Amino acid sequence: MLSSQICAAESAVCILLIAMAQVAGQEDGEKTTALKDLLSRIDLDELMKKDEPPFTFPKTLEEFEYAFNEHGQLRHMKTGEPFIFNAREDLHRWNQKRYEALGEVDATVNEPSSFIYLSPNALSNPSKLLVLIQGSGVVRAGQWARRLIINQDLDSGTQIPFIAKAMEEGYSVIVLNPNENYLEVEKPSKSSTLPSPTEPLEEPVEKKERKDDKDGKKRREFYEKYRNPQKETERERLLIRENGSSEEHVLYVWDHFVAKAAAKHVFIVAHSYGGLSFVELMNHRETEVRNKVCAVALTDSAHSMWLQETSKSTQDWMQQHCCNWVSSPEPLDTPLDSMLPDCPRVSAGTERHELTSWMSFDSIFRFFGEVVEAKKDVEAEEMFNTVTTRSSSLKSKHLDL
């Protein structure tokens, strides 16, 4: 089929070259007129017709013939090779669509609603709760970076290690899904209308000129049509109520889940744009966050204290309770200077933005552990002071008697 398409295209090109040769001996004005007449008679759609395969792809990893091995690496089931982007040479758009389809396997949306993941005791655990917020883009719940999942392994690209470690240490877990913001549906086709019987048979000059302009526009769009010969169906997006953006989603989950959780100590890990969404949460629920959250680990956060117009009290709280592991050539946990009124910044031990969460994994849980121990010390000291005060009061009353 492809060879016949190539032959057809070659034939069309040959016809065009022969016709151009025929007008080569004419005057410049005549050449221009002849070429215009020739191009007007060429069916552009036929020249570029179906020069790439249809965008139909498998729906599961098994149908793609890929699977994750025992090391969490995506490998071809027959060859054992990593995922190959350029499956077909010179078909970049098709390869890109295939790549996107692989990332969307098993994803089904039947109505404009979103979802999150909760561990079985997420709302009832009285001790510790960990909230995970990913960055923006194509990643979905439980993912840090699709590129790492496909090209490296599950440990570096997903939140699975964070979830497993947290549950081992007695945390309950809530996994947010801030990029599931809308349902995409096909636009209804526009019904064609019949001309009015009263319309004159001969078009007015103005209408004819508008029609000529429209035809010219179509010809000018030839290049775009060549780049995208398969016209995709027009679609529209239906925003999910109260979850139409990452910021809205984080606020919604806070109000309906985190704020109602029984956990005494709440911890948050937010990557990239997730850090910006957390700061927006602070802007809207500052008092609640300050009373419930013990510590926040940011990884290459995209937030801006100035652009997001944070209050002085929010800035002070973040300096005391947050740490941002940023991409840097410096060794892991090396303190980095910041000229902004921001939270402390340390190196994540990598210059790759998408790897910052995984590279700072151990440091983040050590940071949380130190906060928990400090909290215990403060609570023990407060309890000791209360007992001492009560004992002194009782002794004083006994002496009075």
Q: Residue 121 region, left (φ>0) first, then alpha (ψ -120 to 50), else beta?
A: alpha
* Cα–Cα separations (whole angstroms), residue 10 to 6, 128, 153, 233: 6, 69, 45, 30
pLDDT digits (tens, 9 = 90+) for 78-121: 999 998 888 888 788 888 888 888 877 654 445 577 889 999 99
More reliable by pLDDT, 50 or 29: 29
Q: What was the pLDDT predicted at 205?
A: 57
Q: Hey, what are 10's tokens? A: 């070659």
Find the range with the poorest average confidence among 10-19, 43-52, 217-226: 10-19
Q: What was the pLDDT predicted at 211?
A: 59
Q: Residue 170 region, left (φ>0) first, then alpha (ψ -120 to 50), else beta?
A: left
Looking at the DSSP bridge assignments, the partners of residue 129 are 172, 266
pLDDT digits (tens, 9 = 90+) for 193-210: 544 444 444 555 555 556
Q: What was the pLDDT predicted at 324?
A: 97
Band (213; pLDDT cuts 50, 70, 90): low
pLDDT digits (tens, 9 = 90+) for 304-345: 998 999 999 999 999 999 999 999 999 999 999 877 778 999
pLDDT digits (tens, 9 = 90+) for 30-84: 666 766 666 665 555 455 445 678 888 887 888 888 887 777 788 898 999 998 8
Is there a domain that residue 22 lies in?
yes
Q: Are residues 47 and 68 in the same domain?
A: no
Find the range with the poorest average confidence among 145-159, 184-198, 277-291: 184-198
Q: Are residues 139 and 175 in the same domain?
A: yes
Q: What was the pLDDT predicted at 187?
A: 75
More reliable by pLDDT, 172 or 75: 172
Alpha-carbon dihedral of residues 119, 121, 122, 126, nearest 10 degrees? -150
- The whole-angstrom separation of Cα 35 and Cα 368 is 73
Q: Are residues 166 and 76 in the same domain?
A: no
Is there a domain that residue 396 lies in?
no
Q: Are residues 39 and 148 in the same domain?
A: no
Is there a domain that residue 196 lies in?
no
Q: Are residues 100 and 132 in the same domain?
A: no
8 Å CB contact between 340 and 364: no
Q: Are residues 132 and 157 in the same domain?
A: yes
More reliable by pLDDT, 372 or 194: 372
Expressed in angstroms, the distance from the first to the final Cα of the chain is 107
Q: Hey, what are 145's tokens? A: 């970076």
More reliable by pLDDT, 200 or 173: 173
Percent of the chain whose pLDDT exceeds 70: 70
Domain containing 81 equals 61-106
Q: Are residues 72 and 100 in the same domain?
A: yes
Q: What was the pLDDT predicted at 231?
A: 52
pLDDT digits (tens, 9 = 90+) for 380-398: 777 767 655 555 554 555 5
The CATH number that applies at residue 141 is 3.40.50.1820
Specify the number of domains making up the chain: 3
Q: What was the pLDDT predicted at 203?
A: 53
Q: Are residues 274 and 339 in the same domain?
A: yes
Q: What was the pLDDT predicted at 51?
A: 65
Judged against a pLDDT cut of 50, whether residue 8 lies above it is answered with no
- The whole-angstrom separation of Cα 327 and Cα 57 is 36
pLDDT digits (tens, 9 = 90+) for 150-162: 999 999 999 999 9
Q: At what angle do helices 2-22 and 28-41 cross, to 10 degrees?
A: 150
Is there a domain that residue 126 lies in?
yes
Tell me, yes or no, if 328 is annotated catalytic.
no
Q: What was the pLDDT predicted at 200?
A: 47
Q: Are residues 282 and 354 in the same domain?
A: yes
- The whole-angstrom separation of Cα 201 and Cα 109 is 50
Find the range with the poorest average confidence among 96-105, 172-181, 214-223, 353-362: 214-223
pLDDT digits (tens, 9 = 90+) for 255-265: 999 999 999 99
8 Å CB contact between 291 and 266: no
Q: Are residues 13 and 138 in the same domain?
A: no
Q: Hey, what are 360's tokens? A: 């700072």
8 Å CB contact between 277 and 133: yes
Judged against a pLDDT cut of 70, whether residue 6 lies above it is answered with no
Judged against a pLDDT cut of 60, whether residue 5 lies above it is answered with no
Q: Are residues 166 and 273 in the same domain?
A: yes
Q: What was the pLDDT predicted at 302?
A: 95
**Angle at Cα 106 formed by Cα 84 and Cα 137, nearest 5°?**
70
Write down the mean pLDDT value for the chain: 80
Q: Which of 245, 246, 272, 328 is catalytic?
A: 272
Is there a domain that residue 230 lies in?
no
Is there a domain that residue 111 lies in?
no
Q: Are residues 10 and 84 in the same domain?
A: no
Is there a domain that residue 339 lies in?
yes
Picking from 38, 8, 43, 46, the residue whose alpha carbon sits closest to that of residue 22 is: 38
Is there a domain that residue 211 lies in?
no
